[in-house]
Amino acid sequence: MMQACGILCVIVSFFLAFTEGDVVSDFREEPECIKFFYKDKVPLWGSATPGTARLCQRFQNTYHFATLYDTYNRIAVYSAYIFGPSNGGGRETRWFVEPQLVNQNWGGEMRDGYWLGQDYPGVYQGERQALNEDYTNSGFDRGHLNPNGHHAVPSRNATFTLTNVVPQNPKLNQNAWANHESKLASLFKSQCNKAYMLVGAIPSANNWIIKNNIQRVNIPEYMWSAYCCTDSNGLPVGSGAAVALNTDQNLVEEYTLSKMVDFLQKYSNTPVGELFYDQCQ
């Protein structure tokens, strides 16, 4: 009996160790992660991208948003989240990395890249993700996809992970895109009971942050966002989208969801389909 229990305990422990991390094969595996998608609908967009990783972004032992991450280009395909009004604070000086993109057996909690390096000296963290030093003196901002201003603490802190940022033109990031994010926040607070967001980037054909003659981080050609607003009964009451060329043109163009699908389809070899369940109708 004791031997059988011991074997069972080992099996259970292995299963728990395998499933507790935040790099998952399917967002639907984790109920606290799939909730960031309207009616649990995960878009097909980006799912066929080679080398993608599905991240349930965990901070302080809680999931705060989900990210489809492109480990080849070392930028996010998109981040999915639910808007939460900011209460200030939570502007991090740290930049987090995803330990399980270094070693799948490491813990699932996002970690400060510096302290992760202290715990595992000599282990290179940047094979499958961008590092803070990639952005240093690059001329590009660490552009949040899921913006810190769309959350209260501690979700606000959790947005400061390098798996949630892309190289963004500083003029765009600090002006038109920031204004776009603020405009959405005002809209959501006044007209939505709950707002589901997808924010992503379109990789460029061959434009990279290069360090030591190595292509490190792809510089996106476009930034894009899409939202679905619901009322207190969970019924859709509004939707929209936007696109911005990632240059100092500093212009954000508003789209409908259907126009956004058409736009994304130009960059996909497979059908994009719906971004939200029933296209938020």
Reported confidence tier of residue 2, pLDDT bands at 50, 70, 90: very low
The ranges assigned to domains in the chain are: 23-280
For the chain, give the mean pLDDT: 92
Q: Quote the percentage of the chain above a pLDDT of 90.
A: 90
User: Is the model's pLDDT at 73 over the cut of 80?
Assistant: yes
- Cα–Cα distance measured from residue 148 to residue 185, given in angstroms and rounded to the nearest whole number: 11
CA distances from 1 to 11, 12, 15 (A): 15, 16, 21
User: Is the model's pLDDT at 91 over the cut of 90?
Assistant: no
**Cβ-contact 154, 60 below 8 angstroms:** yes
What are the tens digits of pLDDT across the range 129-177?
Answer: 999 999 999 999 999 999 999 999 999 999 999 999 999 999 999 999 9
Query: What is the CATH number that goes with domain 23-280?
Result: 3.40.570.10
Reported confidence tier of residue 10, pLDDT bands at 50, 70, 90: very low
Classified as helix, coil or strand, 181 is helix
Per-residue pLDDT at 87: 83
The whole-number average pLDDT for the span 247-265 is: 98
Per-residue pLDDT at 90: 79
